[in-house]
Structure 1
Amino acid sequence: MRSAPTILHLDMDAFYAAAEQAAKPSLRGKPVVVGGIGTRGVVATASYEARRFGVHSAMPVAQARRLCPNAAYLMPRFALYRSVSEQVMELLGRLSPLVEPLSLDEAFVDLEAGGVADDSVSARRAGELLRVDIRAVTGLTGSVGLAGSKMLAKIASEQAKPDGLVLIEPGTERELLGPMPVRILPGVGPATGEHLRRAGMTTVADLAEAGEDELVRLLGKAHGVSLYQMALGHDDRPVVAERDAKSVSVEDTFEVDLHDRVRVRNEVVRLSDRCVQRLRAAGRSGRTVVLKVRRYDFSTLTRSETLRGPTDDPAVVREAAGRLLESVDTTGGVRLLGVGVTGLADFTQEDLFAQVASELAEAAEEAEDSEAGGAAGGVEPVTPVPEPPPERRWLAGQDVRHAEYGAGWVQGSGVGRVTVRFEEPTSPPGRVRTFKVDDPDLVPSDPLPLVRAAGDQAGSSPASRPKSRSEVADSEEAASEEAASEEAASGEAISSP
């Protein structure tokens, strides 16, 4: 524990939803929900306007739509969120060499290690300047907590939300923590919280009064001792600059339960390949393959297999995940599938003989194909008839660009039509227009930056903004046009305020 509040915790406010509002002027000040937009999607983040209706993260989107039907429901745009996160993390890096990211929108900073703070006054000044810089660079807001430990700094940032700063003076920890619920402490989840409640402990003060011996008896030595120390306000965990990932995984929830065993197997293969792509992108390999299956009745099963050595070979992961699937009964239907790799390492140690056998099999297959071609005796190959391309699918919130109207985002799609609102982060709210889903002039686009670079005046770059005919000339005319376009784009159309 430190004698000065020099550990800072930053938590960006409703990060995904706030980034969408900053990118889409027509949604500012209105309820926005980001997450899976299908019937089985889950809310990733809800704007504060949507939270007033009871919408919160991890809630099924179907429930959110019932609570707040007029919100804009958008798919996540991680390319945008990552770029904004990089800007925020760069600002934190200017404060200290010890920055511990927890996610795209959350991090601890050791201000003392950076030499920018050694007491309450300098720590508060650093925190306030950080909030100003974040707003200037990204256009978003973040909440800051300052304390003498990581646990208390995180609690402080939660109290500061939204767009605030709370500093907990060292020495006031027990008084502050006492009346708080036990779930406020790290490591106390629903199961532990219920266990403590049955023992008559609902507040942090109850834990402190119960004593270490009683908590050890209830929860075991390691957890009991740790929880007692935290109940007293003690937390000596350091800020660690590099957090080593423990696993890499991907999962998908399906709109309709999968009953076809072949389809389930194909999905496992696809997820295995995606998982390996992430694994390789991180420059890692893993020793244990994990399969996750959520069935029609919401029961969730996990199976794992530990290999002889770390691997980043997609064939090895696919085969292991396939073997794990054989041990799971999927006859009632599958709602969710996931594939992960744990036991990460920075090297691979594949079975040499298996690798050689694989190469020999490939060579034999190539030779067989070559012989078959020679035996055909020069017969003309049959040219397959190309299948018609599938209908283009546009997702709510997706960035697009039109050859005539410029940059915009998909407001909704359905019945062969797609509705696009043409606006950019630094423009006024824009008009909406409806096109055929296969309009050749409409193409996907990369996200535009939320804040223009210094010296880049609004409107100075014609290629980066909609053309004049797509701008709002009159609010009543724009509203009328929007209503007509939304009526045309039913089906997957979002509810846009």
Structure 2
Amino acid sequence: MVAIPVGAEERSGSPPRRNHPMTLRCLFVDFNSYFASVEQQDDPRLRGRPVGVVPVMAETTCCIAASYEAKAFGVKTGTPVWEARERCPDIVLLQARPARYVEVHHLLMDAIQDCIPHGKPESIDEVPCYLLGRERIRENAEAIARKIKRTFLDRGFDAIGCSIGIAPNKFLAKTASDMQKPDGLTVLEIADLPQRLHPLELRDFCGIGPSMEKRLRRAGISTTAQLCAASREHLRAAWGSVDGERYWLQLRGFELPERKTARGSVGHSHVLGPELRHYEGARSVLFKLLAKAAMRLRHECFLAGGLAIRMRFVGLDRRFERDLSFAPIDDTPTLLKLLGDALQPLERALGNGRWKPQRHPPLSVSVTLVHLEPRGSISGELMASRRRSRDMSALLDAVNRRYGNNALYFGAMQDALSQKAAPMRIAFGQIPQTDLEEDVGIAQESLDGHELWLKRERQFKVMAETAHREAREKRKPPSRP
């Protein structure tokens, strides 16, 4: 059972107190069409024009952002490039510049900080701010929101709009920030709940995706009104865990403590550009991704006891998967050897014609080191060959720290490096570590170590794969009765 937060008892079983002057605790800033807006900010010629941002310049990928001018034509995040061109022939497609998005992110965070201290960014394009004392009075909270918007304009960000939600907790403030776009300001007070939420669709709420929506419908919940009216026990059963109770509390304005999480994995993924959509290219990128993950693993003083390898293909639902388990290690040579061995079945399928990359080229690849253990919790290596591998990894790290990442690298990574594949990318919740991520001699065009981007990138990859699957289903001839 989830405990009700101290001071929230008044809302647990009786009607909420009306006209409560200080129920607001969170102000949530959500930047509108952030990536596309940054492109329009940097190039005034793009303002007022439909713009789409893509991870790679290829017809088989999807838009990871669309300007509001493009959205007017039905182009949105996850729209395949070919469909975007059909819907909006005049759309301008630009390759993502994650490093620039991170740079602007920091400038915008600085602007917010001058108005009100902000919390940990939820993503590259959104951040919560917590209200204290008299800031919780509605008029004062709204004044802070308007000051944030005005500060952006004063600092020259006239093409980057934001929507701001203000509510009793972060969950509802984030929901409110999506209720009026672009450039909106929405306030939800205790007295507004739950009626103000009823017009929303289930999928409008954070944490309810396609699979969760299906589970809710199976539980007899198909509208937001039914979601808000459901009991704690009903939602716990629908979620199948205590998360359902947490949702019940958040819908009622309770501010719940953040869950403490321990790192469980270190990994990287990459959508392949057209020039690398063949076996050798995909293999080279996998080797580069794993070498980067291993370097991060050592930097954070972990050992890994498992490796997950994934490769997706254009036109296929089935993907190549390998999950390896082994004694905890952190040295790059051993990990690369395990990766090479795991790819041999795919190489054999290529040789005997069972896999035809011309028809189904690789689309994306990922590696994830799992089953992490703190380095000090495992006894040291006894075998001389393993000690040499660890010593080699330590030398590799030292050279790359001094002269730049991948100044010294394994030959299997050459194709990926020559094509500037798998550069640094932005990620959610963590500032990028350029000494671990940025390749020497390559301009910082994107950022792979920034957790604010990695989370978004995974979402975009799922969207692209879903778009490919839906397109194939549409092309299938109807089945005969």
Distance 1:55 1:211 in 2: 38
| TM-aligned CA deviation for residue 217 of structure 1 | 3.7
SS of the residue corresponding to residue 132 of structure 1 reads helix
* Contact map agreement 1:108 1:239 (CA 8 A) in 2: no
Task: Pick one of 25, 30, 33 that aligns with 1:11.
Answer: 30
Task: Pick one of 65, 70, 77 that aligns with 1:50.
Answer: 70
Structure 1 stretch 201-210 or stretch 248-257: which is displaced more?
A: 248-257
| TM-aligned CA deviation for residue 127 of structure 1 | 1.1
Counterpart AA for 1:357: S
Matches within 5 A, 1:167-246: 167-230=187-250, 232-238=251-257
For residues 95-138 of structure 1, the C-alpha deviation after alignment (integer angstroms, 9 at most, x for no partner) is: 555512112211111122xx671311111111111111123225
For residues 389-432 of structure 1, the C-alpha deviation after alignment (integer angstroms, 9 at most, x for no partner) is: xxx9999xxxxxxxxxxxxxxxxxxxxxxxxxxxxxxxxxxxxx
Distance 1:335 1:101 in 2: 30
Distance 2:134 2:419 in 1: 50
Distance 1:165 1:246 in 2: 38
Equivalent position of 1:253 in the other structure: 272
For residues 135-167 of structure 1, the C-alpha deviation after alignment (integer angstroms, 9 at most, x for no partner) is: 322512221111111111001111132112111
SS of the residue corresponding to residue 37 of structure 1 reads coil
* Contact map agreement 1:250 1:274 (CA 8 A) in 2: no
* Contact map agreement 2:34 2:125 (CA 8 A) in 1: yes
Task: Pick one of 146, 159, 167 that aligns with 1:128.
Answer: 146
Task: Pick one of 269, 276, 293 that aligns with 1:275.
Answer: 293
SS of the residue corresponding to residue 136 of structure 2 reads coil
Matches within 5 A, 1:455-466: none
Q: Quick one: structure 1 residues 80 and 245, their matched pair in 2 at CA, closer, same or farther if it must change by over 3 Å?
A: farther
Equivalent position of 1:321 in the other structure: 339
Q: Quick one: structure 1 residues 278 and 34, their matched pair in 2 at CA, closer, same or farther if it must change by over 3 Å?
A: farther
| TM-aligned CA deviation for residue 203 of structure 1 | 1.3
**Higher strand fraction: Structure 1 or Structure 2?**
1
Distance 1:240 1:100 in 2: 14
For residues 54-80 of structure 1, the C-alpha deviation after alignment (integer angstroms, 9 at most, x for no partner) is: 111122222212222211111111221
| TM-aligned CA deviation for residue 263 of structure 1 | 5.2
- Alignment of 1:23 with 2:23, yes or no, is no
| TM-aligned CA deviation for residue 46 of structure 1 | 0.7
Q: Quick one: structure 1 residues 45 and 259, their matched pair in 2 at CA, closer, same or farther if it must change by over 3 Å?
A: closer
Equivalent position of 2:463 in the other structure: none
State the structure with bigger RCO (CA 8 A, min sep 6), 1 or 2. 2
| TM-aligned CA deviation for residue 21 of structure 1 | 0.8
Counterpart AA for 1:27: L
Distance 1:51 1:191 in 2: 25
Equivalent position of 2:385 in the other structure: 357
Equivalent position of 2:430 in the other structure: none
Counterpart AA for 1:299: R
- Alignment of 1:338 with 2:366, yes or no, is yes
Equivalent position of 1:79 in the other structure: 99
Q: Quick one: structure 1 residues 301 and 120, their matched pair in 2 at CA, closer, same or farther if it must change by over 3 Å?
A: farther
Equivalent position of 1:64 in the other structure: 84
Structure 1 stretch 211-220 or stretch 338-347: which is displaced more?
A: 338-347
Q: Percent identity?
A: 24
How many residues matched? 367
SS of the residue corresponding to residue 189 of structure 2 reads coil
* Contact map agreement 2:28 2:129 (CA 8 A) in 1: yes
Task: Pick one of 84, 88, 94 that aligns with 2:108.
Answer: 88
* Contact map agreement 2:272 2:282 (CA 8 A) in 1: no
Give the TM-score normalised by the residue count of structure 1: 0.63
Q: Which runs of 5+ in 2 are unaligned?
A: 9-21, 393-417, 422-440, 446-481
Distance 2:172 2:378 in 1: 45
Give the TM-score normalised by the residue count of structure 2: 0.65
Distance 2:343 2:71 in 1: 39
Equivalent position of 2:312 in the other structure: 294
Equivalent position of 1:427 in the other structure: none
* Contact map agreement 1:134 1:142 (CA 8 A) in 2: no
Counterpart AA for 2:31: M
Distance 2:52 2:41 in 1: 14
| TM-aligned CA deviation for residue 22 of structure 1 | 1.2
Which structure has the larger Rg over C-alpha atoms? 1
Task: Pick one of 123, 128, 151 that aligns with 1:108.
Answer: 128
For residues 30-56 of structure 1, the C-alpha deviation after alignment (integer angstroms, 9 at most, x for no partner) is: 111111221222211111111111111
Superposed CA RMSD in Å reads 3.8
| TM-aligned CA deviation for residue 85 of structure 1 | 0.5
